[in-house]
Amino acid sequence: MRLIGNILWLILGGLEIALAWLIVGLVLCITIVGIPLGLQAFKMAKLTLTPFGTHVVYGGGAGSLLLNIIWVVLVGVWMAIGYCFAGLLNCITIIGVPFGIQSFKMAKLALWPFGSQIV
């Protein structure tokens, strides 16, 4: 089921979103200040490629908390809102519910990426 879900996800737009995250990560890594943000974009690209069958483990210390607060203020809220909106649209139909659940998983990671790991 994970394989079928991931294939459908990639065909229906996941590949384009992952490529966009990859490009954003590369652009952010051009400057030294942007490297931590670029690494989080790479993390989002990884989750976007194979959302079915992966889990996000949240953790981290005080440094992660501080970076997450800055992230939320700058971009995290808007990205999370976008993913939640996509999740709600997916959940309109029964067939789209699994894709909506994955969108909600990505919304949480988009809101709080520092200190999290994808397993």
Q: pLDDT tens, 2-27? A: 999 999 999 998 999 999 999 999 99
- 74: confidence class by pLDDT, cuts 50, 70, 90: confident
Residue 75 has pLDDT above 90, yes or no: no
pTM: 0.87
DSSP string, 14-74: IHHHHHHHHHHHHHHTTSTTTHHHHHHHHHHHHHHH--TT--EE----HHHHHHHHHHIII
For the chain, the structural domain boundaries read 1-118
- 100: confidence class by pLDDT, cuts 50, 70, 90: very high
**Measured distance CA(4)–CA(74) in Å, rounded:** 35
Instruction: Give the number of other Cβ atoms within 10 Å of residue 108's Cβ.
Output: 15
